[in-house]
Amino acid sequence: MVIILLGPPGVGKGTQGALLTESFGWERIATGDLLRGARRDGTELGRQAQSYMDAGNLVPDELIVALVREHLKKLPPERGVVFDGFPRTLAQAEALDQVLPEVGRKVDAVLLLEAPADVLVKRLSGRRSCPQCERIYNIHFDPPVTEGTCDECGARLIQRKDDLPDTVRHRLSVYRDQTRPLVTHYEEGSTPVLRIEGDRKLEHVTRAIRRSLVKQLGVEA
């Protein structure tokens, strides 16, 4: 089973991806994790990625895809996979289409989490993080007991630059331009695209995902 999680920033892909792997025993593949692991282990691909990052450049798609291929080859063939945050562009999706048959896999479904832009701006711009213990809060949904102060360690909370409202709107625009075309790509290739409303409570979204996978793909609940 190969599932691709798609959706705009702030819709909850990371959380739902982690819950899927926990529920079904699947492997969650996030390219950021693959990059960090390769760099930490000092692999050849990791050294190549580090050279791009040290120069302030994006790691090219070819290298990302090579990391994905290498990781998939290490997995037992019966283990399911959830791609979280990859592919992001049509070029990456087309490259993944070439890689999966090499390891005896195919994309079984795309889980598309959706939410209105104003909801996502509120979610992301409301995030605050602790620079010491790294706990994340949200001033709208999960605020600290004392405003601006971490409950765990007492440090002053900060707002990341990429969570500022204008930056969030730009991130959503980039998503629409680069990632939404992936939906068309998979639909035209007859891959089921399962649309899930992501602006509900966490547990409701999780149940909707499980019901959809059971109904459409026969996944055991």
Catalytic residue annotation: 13, 88, 127, 160, 171
CB contact burial 15-54 (16+ within 10 A = b; e otherwise): ebbebbbeebebbbbbbeebbeebbeeeeebbebbeeeee
Contacts with 56 (C-beta within 8 Å, 6 or more apart), sequence order: none
Backbone angles phi, psi at 202, to 5 degrees: -50, -50
Determine how β-strand 136-138 pairs with β-strand 127-129: antiparallel
Which residue, among 196, 219, 177, has the nearest Cα to 110 in the 3D structure? 196
For residue 77, count CB atoms less than 10 angstroms from its CB and return exposed for 0-12, middle for 13-18, buried for 19 or more. Answer: exposed
Backbone angles phi, psi at 28, to 5 degrees: -90, 125
**Cα angle at 111 between 124 and 164, to 5 degrees?**
10
Distance separating alpha carbons of residues 220 and 218, to the nearest angstrom: 6
For residue 199, count CB atoms less than 10 angstroms from its CB and return exposed for 0-12, middle for 13-18, buried for 19 or more. Answer: middle
